[in-house]
C-alpha cells in the first residue's frame, strides 16, 4: 500500500494495536504532535469492528493494512450485489453492476485513501436497508441500517458520515411527506427512526464519548475558510474523460493538475457507461428523473468552486469541515450504476440487442475509432513503447502525454473485444457470458494500468514484513533528557521504503512532529504563535528558569500564562528517572525549598490528565499556551505520575461490543430464517 494508507492509517492503527497487545487502552498517543487522544481520532480505526477483528491476530502491520483495504473492496461488491438484486430481481445483472462498483474509479483511483474506500463500501448496505424499510416499515431493517451506519462512521472519512446523515434525513422526510395522511404508517416511521437512533448511539457510544471529550480541543469543528485549501481537488470537467478513458487521467498532462491524481477517476466500466445510455432509451419514469437529478446535483458538488452550488451548501451544518469535493463523485458513480443495471436488465432477459442498442454500440465504436486515430497522430511509436514498458515495470508515475494514454486505452478495449468475439465464435456462449467476460477483462486491465500509480508501491512485501518484525517492543526511554526539538523524526529512527512519515510512532519515540489532520487547536495555534518552538527547547519534563517576556529570545526554561504566581528558583527542583508509558508519564522530583515549584510536562493539555505526587493529587494547569504544569509542594520529594484517564470509555466500549454482537447474531439468524 502507499501514501496516506502507509503514512497515516497504518501508524495510527499500529499504535492502537501495540497498546492493546501491551495490555493498555489506546487513549493517548505521545508519539505525534506533543501527544493527542488517539481514541478520539475518527480515522484511527480505534472503534472500527473490522480493525478489531484484524488486531485479534496480532499487531497491525502492513499485512493487516492490505487485509483491511481489500475487505472494503469485497464489502462494496457484496453490498452492491444484494442491493441491485433487490432492485432488479435478476442476479446476473446485479453481479455485473456489483463488479463495476467494486472496481470503479472511486475504489481503484482513490485506493490510497482507505477511509474513502470504506465510505464507498458501506453506501449500498445503508441504501439497501433504507429501501427495505421504505417498502416494509419493519423495524428490523432500521436495526440493520444502524449497524451499517455505525460501521461506516467508524471506518470512513467523517465526510461520508456527514453526507449519510443528510441522506437519512432526506429519506425520512420523504417518508413522512408521502405517508402524512396515514397515521399508522407515520407511527411506524417514528418507531423505526427512534430504533435507528437508539441503536446507532449504543454502537457508537465510545466513539461519541471520545468525540465529546476532545471536542473542546478539536481543530476542525469550526468551518474552514472558503479558500483554496477547503475547495482543493474538485472533480473537474476534464476528469470526465475518465468515464470512457480512465487511463488518461494519470497521464503527465498538465490539464489534470487542478486535481490530485488519486481523485480524478470516475470510471464505472465501459459496460456501465453503455448501460447508462441504454437506460436513457428504455426507461422514462419519475424515479429515473429523480436519479438523474441526484447525479447532476452530486456532479455539481463534486466540481467544487467551479459552480455556485458548493458556495451555498458550504453554509449547511457539517459542510465546510471537510475537503476534497471530488469525493462527491461517489454518489455520481453509485447512481449511474443503478441506471446502468436497469439499462442492461431487459437486454440480458432478451438475450439480444434491440436495433437502437446496436446503433448505440456502433456509435460508441465510431467514437473509439476517432479517438484511436486522433491520439495516434499526436503521439509516437517510441512513446507508446516506452509507456507500455513502464507499465510492465511498475513505474509509479507516467511521463507520457494524454494522447498516448488514450491510444493505449482504446487499444485495450479493441483487444478485449477481439478476444470476446473469438471466444464467442469458438464456444457459442450467451450474450450475458460475453458481457461478463468483457467486464472482468476491462476492469481487471484498467485496474492493473493504474495499479503502480494509485494503489501500491513497487516494494517487496518482505521488506515491510522484516521492518515490522524488527521494531522495538518497548517504548524508547534512552533520550528522555533531550530537548523535544531533538525528536524531529530524523534522529536515528528505523526507516523502511514506502513509509516516510510518523516514524516516531513505529519507533515508539516521543515527538512534536507527525502527519495527522486530527490535532489540538492549541497545538496549531502554538505553531503559528511560536509557543511550540519555545516549548520544544525543553525536555519532556522540565522546571522553569525564567518568566517569559515579550522580547525574550527563544530559549529553554521559559514559563508564562500560569494561573498562580510562584517565585522561580532556578535549579532547586530536581528531576530524575523520567519514564514514558502508555497513557502516562512519570518522574522523580525533589523540592528542597520552602516554596512551591512548577513542574511542566511537554504534552498537549487535556482536562482528563491527572497528576499525583506519592498518591497526593496535584491540580493540572494549562500553561505556556499549550502544555501542562503542576505545582510541587515545598520540601517534598517522590514520584510524580501523570495519567490520562477516560473512565467511561471501557464501559461504553463493552456496551458497544455487546451491541455489535447482538445485531450481528440477529442479522445472520434473520437471514437464515428468511432463507
List Cβ neighbours of 455 (8 Å cut-off, separation of 6 or more): 1, 2, 108, 111, 112, 447
- In this prediction, residue 671 carries a pLDDT of 67
- In this prediction, residue 674 carries a pLDDT of 58
- In this prediction, residue 440 carries a pLDDT of 97
Rounded Cα gap, residues 267 and 498, in angstroms: 27
* Banded model confidence at residue 213, pLDDT cuts 50, 70, 90: very high
- In this prediction, residue 372 carries a pLDDT of 97
3-state helix, strand and coil shares in percent for the chain, rounded to the nearest 5: 60, 10, 30
Residue indicated by cell numbers 463493552: 654
Alpha-carbon radius of gyration of the chain? 28
pLDDT tens sequence across 34-91: 999 999 999 999 999 999 999 999 999 999 999 999 999 999 999 999 999 999 999 9
The mean per-residue pLDDT over the stretch 20-24 comes to 96
Instruction: Compute CA distances 548 → 545, 554, 558, 617, 623, whole Å.
Output: 9, 10, 5, 27, 12
Q: Quote the mean pLDDT of the chain.
A: 94
The mean per-residue pLDDT over the stretch 103-109 comes to 97
The mean per-residue pLDDT over the stretch 355-380 comes to 96
User: Considering only CA atoms, which of 373, 358, 300, 371 is closest in space to residue 332?
Assistant: 300
* Banded model confidence at residue 675, pLDDT cuts 50, 70, 90: low
* Banded model confidence at residue 568, pLDDT cuts 50, 70, 90: confident
* Banded model confidence at residue 657, pLDDT cuts 50, 70, 90: very high
- In this prediction, residue 219 carries a pLDDT of 78
The mean per-residue pLDDT over the stretch 317-327 comes to 93
- Does the pLDDT value for residue 673 go beyond 70? no
Report the percent of the chain where pLDDT is more than 90. 89
- Does the pLDDT value for residue 179 go beyond 80? yes
The mean per-residue pLDDT over the stretch 130-147 comes to 96
pLDDT tens sequence across 77-88: 999 999 999 999
pLDDT tens sequence across 222-256: 888 998 889 999 999 999 999 999 999 999 999 99
- In this prediction, residue 672 carries a pLDDT of 64
List Cβ neighbours of 59 (8 Å cut-off, separation of 6 or more): 14, 17, 18, 21, 468
- Please state the pTM of the whole predicted model: 0.95
Q: What is the 3-state secondary structure (H, E, C) of 301-363?
A: HHCHHHCCHHHHHCCCCCCCCCCCHHHHHHHHHHHHHHHHHHHHHHHHHHCCCCHHHHHHHHH
- In this prediction, residue 667 carries a pLDDT of 79
Amino acid at each position: 500500500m502507499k501514501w496516506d494508507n502507509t503514512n497515516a492509517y497504518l501508524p495510527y492503527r499500529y499504535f492502537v494495536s501495540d497498546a492493546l497487545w501491551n495490555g493498555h487502552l489506546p487513549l493517548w498517543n505521545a508519539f505525534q504532535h506533543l501527544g493527542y487522544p488517539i481514541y478520539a481520532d475518527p480515522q484511527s480505526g480505534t472503534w472500527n469492528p473490522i480493525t478489531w477483528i484484524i488486531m485479534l491476530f496480532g499487531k497491525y502491520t502492513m499485512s493487516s493494512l492490505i487485509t483491511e483495504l481489500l475487505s472494503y473492496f469485497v464489502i462494496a461488491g457484496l453490498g452492491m450485489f444484494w442491493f441491485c438484486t433487490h432492485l432488479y430481481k435478476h442476479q446476473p445483472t446485479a453481479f455485473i453492476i456489483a463488479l463495476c462498483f467494486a472496481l470503479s474509479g472511486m475504489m481503484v483511483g482513490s485506493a490510497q485513501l482507505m477511509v474513502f474506500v470504506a465510505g464507498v463500501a458501506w453506501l449500498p448496505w445503508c441504501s439497501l436497508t433504507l429501501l427495505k424499510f421504505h417498502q416494509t416499515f419493519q423495524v428490523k431493517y432500521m436495526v440493520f441500517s444502524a449497524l451499517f451506519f455505525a460501521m461506516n462512521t467508524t471506518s470512513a472519512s467523517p465526510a461520508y458520515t456527514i453526507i449519510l446523515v443528510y441522506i437519512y434525513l432526506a429519506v425520512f422526510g420523504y417518508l413522512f411527506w408521502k405517508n402524512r395522511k396515514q397515521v399508522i404508517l407515520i407511527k411506524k416511521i417514528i418507531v423505526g427512526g427512534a430504533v435507528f437512533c437508539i441503536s446507532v448511539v449504543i454502537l457508537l457510544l465510545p466513539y461519541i464519548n471520545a468525540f465529546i471529550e476532545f471536542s473542546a480541543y478539536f481543530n476542525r469543528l469550526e468551518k474552514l475558510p472558503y479558500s483554496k485549501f477547503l475547495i482543493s481537488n474538485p472533480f473537474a470537467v476534464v476528469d470526465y474523460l475518465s468515464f470512457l478513458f480512465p487511463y488518461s487521467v494519470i497521464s503527465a498532462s498538465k490539464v489534470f493538475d487542478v486535481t490530485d491524481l488519486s481523485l480524478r477517476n470516475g470510471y464505472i466500466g465501459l459496460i456501465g457507461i453503455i448501460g447508462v445510455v441504454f437506460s436513457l432509451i428504455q426507461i422514462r419514469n419519475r424515479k429515473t428523473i429523480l436519479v438523474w437529478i441526484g447525479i447532476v446535483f452530486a456532479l455539481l458538488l463534486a466540481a467544487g468552486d467551479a459552480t455556485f452550488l458548493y458556495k451555498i451548501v458550504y453554509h449547511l451544518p457539517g459542510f465546510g469541515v471537510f475537503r476534497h469535493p471530488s469525493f462527491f463523485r461517489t454518489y455520481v458513480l453509485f447512481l449511474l450504476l443503478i441506471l446502468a443495471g436497469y439499462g442492461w436488465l431487459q437486454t440480458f432477459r432478451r438475450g439480444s440487442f434491440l436495433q437502437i442498442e446496436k446503433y448505440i454500440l456502433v456509435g460508441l465504436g465510431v467514437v473509439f475509432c476517432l479517438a484511436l486515430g486522433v491520439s495516434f497522430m499526436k503521439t509516437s511509436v517510441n512513446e507508446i513503447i516506452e509507456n507500455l514498458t513502464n507499465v510492465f515495470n511498475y513505474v509509479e508515475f507516467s511521463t507520457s502525454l494524454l494522447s498516448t494514454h488514450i491510444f493505449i486505452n482504446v487499444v485495450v478495449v479493441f483487444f478485449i473485444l477481439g478476444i470476446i468475439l473469438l471466444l464467442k465464435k469458438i464456444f457459442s456462449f450467451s450474450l450475458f457470458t460475453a458481457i461478463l467476460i468483457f467486464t472482468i477483462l476491462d476492469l481487471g486491465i484498467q485496474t492493473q494500468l493504474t495499479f503502480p500509480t494509485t494503489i501500491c508501491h513497487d516494494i517487496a512485501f518482505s521488506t515491510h514484513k522484516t521492518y515490522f518484525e524488527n521494531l522495538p517492543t518497548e517504548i524508547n526511554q534512552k533520550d528522555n533528557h533531550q530537548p523535544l526539538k531533538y525528536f524531529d523524526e530524523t534522529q536515528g529512527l528505523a526507516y523502511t521504503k514506502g513509509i516516510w512519515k510518523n516514524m516516531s510512532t513505529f519507533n515508539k519515540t516521543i515527538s512534536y512532529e507527525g502527519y495527522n489532520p486530527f490535532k489540538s487547536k492549541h497545538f496549531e495555534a502554538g505553531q503559528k504563535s511560536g509557543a511550540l518552538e519555545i516549548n520544544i527547547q525543553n525536555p519532556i519534563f522540565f522546571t522553569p528558569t525564567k518568566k517569559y517576556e515579550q522580547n525574550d529570545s527563544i530559549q529553554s526554561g521559559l514559563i508564562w500564562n500560569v494561573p498562580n504566581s510562584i517565585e522561580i528558583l532556578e535549579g532547586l527542583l530536581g528531576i530524575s528517572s523520567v519514564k514514558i508509558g502508555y497513557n502516562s508519564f512519570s518522574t522523580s522530583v525533589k523540592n528542597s525549598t520552602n516554596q512551591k515549584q512548577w513542574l511542566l510536562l511537554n504534552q498537549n493539555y487535556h482536562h482528563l490528565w491527572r497528576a499525583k505526587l506519592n498518591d497526593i493529587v496535584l491540580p493540572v494547569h494549562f500553561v505556556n499556551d499549550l502544555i501542562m504544569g503542576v505545582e510541587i509542594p515545598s520540601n517534598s520529594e517522590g514520584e510524580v505520575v501523570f495519567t490520562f484517564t477516560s473512565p467511561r470509555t471501557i464501559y461504553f466500549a463493552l456496551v458497544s461490543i455487546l451491541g455489535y454482537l447482538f445485531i450481528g447474531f440477529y442479522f445472520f439468524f434473520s437471514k437464515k430464517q428468511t432463507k
